[in-house]
């Protein structure tokens, strides 16, 4: 049976389209839920892009959206002429870049450290505990952050008072809000983000480590010359995808943690879209913002992919 399946997957393609579909029907059935998800939630909503080039009433029906008057690039001009747009763009890029600089290496380092643990039960326990924050609702995470960093009874401020310092209202301090926001994202995604890297490490041939030990390589040398090169493709792939999402700075986390006091450093594109689109019913403007984000993300992904190919690395395509 295994031989028949292998020959079916790797053998020459022959027969009509209907015959090939029937031959691989089980594979197509496995793909169907994913394809339906992307079709319903990614491709069908693309119809709404036309709203960015129209003047649409908040109460408009789908037919009225189609027949609404065209305004060309007026919504984009209004967006770029807005004082708030450049502020939220700077905040979004800053938070995302801080997240890439400090958050992207964190799962890689964590996976490398887990790989060096020899006590299997302790390793599995640490790995399981590290996954837990990912499954917490962002509402719960925000509540925990508010409790831990509370100026009146939070653990962090209690330690600061113990050493003679003054309590800090982290969530209302423009100086501390961004580091707190980025640190919360790193803590929540550390364990879950390390799964791909741990899987890449397990796929490395153990004989390479044995040969390196015979040659006298210590743990650091084995990690640097064997483990990291074995993870290079996954690292490159994740970095390209992270660069493509540089305008996504964590909408839920910012929305639940920020306040008008820190709008100057914490207001991002997605929270601006939430206020203007849902609270002020300016759907045309928010659609223009979404289209701008998608265009920038596409350009960054393609550019990063070509850059990595030019320096000899494997890209996405």
Residues 308/285, Cβ–Cβ less than 8 Å: no
The class that CATH gives domain 76-310 is: mainly alpha
Q: What is the pLDDT of residues 180-233, one digit of tens each?
A: 999 999 999 999 999 999 999 988 888 888 898 888 888 888 888 899 988 988
Please check the confidence at residue 290 and state whether its pLDDT lies above 60.
yes
Domain boundaries, the chain: 1-53, 76-310
pLDDT computed for residue 68 by the predictor: 81
To which residue do tokens 């306040």 refer?
A: 259
Which of 96, 41, 58 shows the shortest CA–CA distance to 285? 58
Residue 8 has pLDDT above 80, yes or no: no
Quote the pLDDT of residue 138. 92
pLDDT for the residue numbered 13 = 53
Measured CA to CA, the distance from residue 225 to residue 217 in angstroms comes to 9
pLDDT of residue 134: 92
pLDDT at 3: 47
CA angle 194, 239, 96 (to 5 degrees): 95
Confidence of residue 317 (pLDDT cuts 50, 70, 90): low
Model confidence band, residue 1 (pLDDT cutoffs 50, 70, 90)? very low
Distance, in Å, from the CA atom of 309 to the CA atom of 230, rounded to the nearest integer, reads: 17
Q: In this model, does residue 115 exceed pLDDT 90?
A: no
Tens of pLDDT, residue by residue over 225-278, are 899 988 988 898 888 888 888 888 888 999 999 888 998 898 898 888 888 777
For the chain, first and last CA: distance in Å?
Answer: 33
Predicted pLDDT of residue 6: 45
Q: Report the DSSP beta bridge partners of residue 54.
A: 70
Query: What DSSP line would sit under 256-283, residue for residue?
Result: HH--GGGHHHH--HHHHHIIIIIIS--H
Instruction: For residue 39, give every residue at least 6 positions away whose Cβ sits within 8 Å of its Cβ, in sequence order, or none.
Output: none
- Exposure class string for 27-64: b at 16+ Cβ within 10 A, else e: eeeeeeeeeeeeeeeeeeeeeeeebbbbebeeebeeee
Sole residue written with tokens 């580091």: 179
Measure the CA–CA gap between 143 and 25, rounded to whole angstroms.
47
């Amino acid at each position: 049976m295994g031989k028949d399946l292998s020959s079916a997957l790797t053998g020459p393609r022959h027969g009509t389209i209907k015959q090939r579909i029937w031959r691989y029907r089980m594979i197509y059935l496995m793909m169907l839920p994913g394809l339906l998800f992307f079709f319903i939630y990614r491709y069908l909503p693309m119809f709404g892009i036309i709203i960015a080039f129209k003047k649409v009433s908040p109460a408009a029906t789908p037919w009225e959206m189609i027949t609404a008057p065209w305004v060309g690039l007026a919504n984009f001009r209004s967006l770029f002429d807005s004082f708030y747009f450049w502020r939220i763009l700077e905040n979004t890029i800053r938070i995302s870049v801080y997240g890439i600089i400090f958050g992207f290496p964190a799962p890689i380092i964590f996976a490398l450290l887990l790989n060096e643990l020899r006590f299997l039960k302790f390793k599995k326990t640490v790995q399981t505990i590290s996954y837990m924050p990912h499954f917490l609702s962002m509402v719960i995470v925000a509540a925990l952050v508010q409790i831990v960093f509370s100026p009146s009874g939070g653990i962090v401020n209690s330690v600061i008072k113990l050493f003679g310092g003054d309590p800090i209202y982290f969530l209302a301090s423009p100086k501390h809000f961004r580091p707190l926001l980025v640190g919360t994202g790193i803590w929540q995604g550390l364990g879950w983000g390390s799964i791909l890297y741990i899987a890449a490490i397990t796929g490395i041939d153990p004989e390479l480590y044995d040969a390196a030990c015979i040659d006298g390589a210590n743990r650091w040398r084995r990690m640097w010359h064997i483990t990291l090169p074995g993870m290079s493709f996954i690292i490159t792939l994740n970095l390209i995808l992270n660069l493509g999402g540089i305008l996504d700075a964590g909408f839920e986390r910012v929305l639940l943690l920020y306040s008008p006091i820190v709008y100057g450093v914490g207001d991002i594109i997605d929270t601006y879209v939430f206020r203007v689109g849902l609270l002020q019913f300016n759907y045309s403007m928010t659609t223009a913002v979404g289209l701008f984000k998608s265009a920038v993300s596409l350009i960054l992904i393609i550019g990063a992919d070509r850059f990595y190919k030019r320096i000899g690395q494997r890209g996405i395509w």
